[in-house]
Amino acid sequence: MDKITMNTPLVEMDGDEMTRVLWKMIKDELILPFVDLKTEYYDLGLKHRDETGDRVTIDAANAAKKYGVAVKCATITPNKARVEEYGLKEMWKSPNGTIRSILDGTVFRTPIIVKGIEPYVRSWKKPIVMARHAYGDVYKAAEMRIPGEGTCELVFKDADGNTAAEVIHKFKGPGVVQGMHNLDSSIYSFARSCFAYAADQRMDLWFASKDTISKKYDQHFKLIFEEIYNNEYKELFEKLGISYFYTLIDDAVARVVKSEGGFVWALKNYDGDVMSDLVASAFGSLAMMTSVLVSPHGYYEYEAAHGTVQRHYYRYLKGEQTSTNPMATIFAWSGAFKKRGEMDGNPALVKFGSMLEQASIDVIESGKMTGDLASITTLPDAVSLNSKDFIREIRARLTVLMAES
């Protein structure tokens, strides 16, 4: 069988721990036998980030800008324990945070739906796509420990040196403060990418924030969404028979749980971070949630929504077999192939991406799956496989699908 050729390289961002192990298995078993793979490789493993003073993360993000499509493995965001574990020079920032602030845009997370893995929420029939704003707020905040009595103010100084100030709090004793920001440019592109994605997927769009309490900050998001809808998308949405719906975040969570699914749920950065883990878990497993960062400039970065699965990795290091689920990481690769193929006019690559997804779903639906799914499946005779055997099953199925086509 001739291997599928690629015109333009994918930006490949390798990562950490168990997902780094899966990354190699996926390449060896599911990609290299079928595709004449072209990538520009960046090692975002924590050790290499430390060696390069985190330069590699910035270089990788810039490469994503150059080539347009990247695929990323999960990476460790260091905390104090990791600084000790890896003997780090610094507590490096979250690579995802760094990449997002360079590419801007919105993270869309979609659960992989398979027969036999039923959502915990009985009413959910269709996927809920989570759209998380990927810039600013608490992720780019300045924070301060307030040691004791005193007044804390927000001060803005314009280019001419004029100032405007707002008292945050008159402290009587110690406490904490946080100052966060966002940019009109980023909120506009967030709104536009949400409307564009919803139209593309023919799904309703919901947006929720806390504008009743945050009368300037969250309200501003709400007004921008309204403006973009009325001026740019209303007609198209009506033509497609889809709708835009704004509601308060607390009303939204209540409605989401009673809904059938089948819509894009847009959220601010923090709400999107938290709610996407909740929605992913409620759809069955965090390991079945895919994630793509769509920048307003047309760059795409695909990854799994979960982390490096540290607990499994420590078992793997002790020589134990682990049954870590590679689905979301496989779908990161397939998503990247489909987008690369679409951009390059390479239908064979698009088709390969779809077949890789089909083969993976077929294997699960045939009753062979990793432990996280085996423990919750409604299929009668499910078999729990370790990661390697599961990936080999996918390879066998993929070989059949490729031969048939």
CB 291 within 8 A of CB 303: yes
What does the CA dihedral 213, 215, 216, 218 come to, rounded to 10 degrees? 60
Question: Which residue, 277 or 342, is less far from Mg ion as judged by CB?
Answer: 277
Q: Which of 270, 182, 201, 193 has the alpha carbon at shortest distance from 240?
A: 201
- Pick from 8, 310, 354, 366 the residue near ligand NAP by CB under 6 A: 310
CB-CB neighbours of 61 under 10 Å = 23
Query: Parallel, antiparallel, or unpaired for β 300-304 and 289-294?
Result: antiparallel
Partner from Mg ion, ligand NAP, none contacting 273, C-beta within 5 to 8 A by type: Mg ion
CB 289 within 8 A of CB 280: yes
268, two tokens: 């601010």
Stretch that binds Mg ion, among 4-12, 121-129, 222-230, 270-278 (CB under 5 A): 270-278
Partner from Mg ion, ligand NAP, none contacting 103, C-beta within 5 to 8 A by type: none
Question: Which residue, 9 or 371, is less far from ligand NAP as judged by CB?
Answer: 371
Q: Is 308 in the site for ligand NAP (CB under 6 A)?
A: yes
36, two tokens: 């004449």
Q: Which of 92, 128, 141, 80 has the alpha carbon at shortest distance from 269?
A: 141
Question: Which residue, 117 or 196, is less far from ligand NAP as judged by CB?
Answer: 117
Q: Is 76 in the site for ligand NAP (CB under 6 A)?
A: yes
**Interface pattern 157-196 for Mg ion (x via CB under 5 A):** ----------------------------------------
Q: Which residues contact 74 (CB under 8 A, 6 or more apart)?
A: 15, 16, 17, 19, 303, 304, 306, 307, 308, 309, 329
Stretch that binds ligand NAP, among 61-69, 156-164, 208-216, 299-307 (CB under 6 A): 299-307
Q: Name the residue type at position 70.
A: A
Q: Is 287 in the site for ligand NAP (CB under 6 A)?
A: yes
Q: Is 306 in the site for ligand NAP (CB under 6 A)?
A: yes
DSSP string computed for 316-372: HHTT-------HHHHHHHHHHHHHHHHHHT-HHHHHHHHHHHHHHHHHHHTTEEEHH
- Pick from 8, 52, 77, 366 the residue near ligand NAP by CB under 6 A: 77
Footprint on residues 313-352 left by ligand NAP (CB under 6 A) = 324-325
Q: Is 273 in the site for Mg ion (CB under 5 A)?
A: yes
97, two tokens: 């945070």
CA distances from 253 to 204, 214, 279 (A): 16, 18, 10
Q: Is 218 in the site for Mg ion (CB under 5 A)?
A: no
Question: Which residue, 64 or 349, is less far from ligand NAP as judged by CB?
Answer: 64
Partner from Mg ion, ligand NAP, none contacting 393, C-beta within 5 to 8 A by type: none
Stretch that binds ligand NAP, among 152-160, 200-208, 224-232, 302-310 (CB under 6 A): 302-310
Partner from ligand NAP, Mg ion, none contacting 325, C-beta within 5 to 8 A by type: ligand NAP
Stretch that binds ligand NAP, among 100-108, 139-147, 187-195, 308-316 (CB under 6 A): 308-316
357, two tokens: 């997804």
Q: Is 50 in the site for Mg ion (CB under 5 A)?
A: no
The residues binding Mg ion (CB under 5 A) are: 273
The residues binding ligand NAP (CB under 6 A) are: 74-77, 96, 286-287, 303, 306-311, 324-325, 372
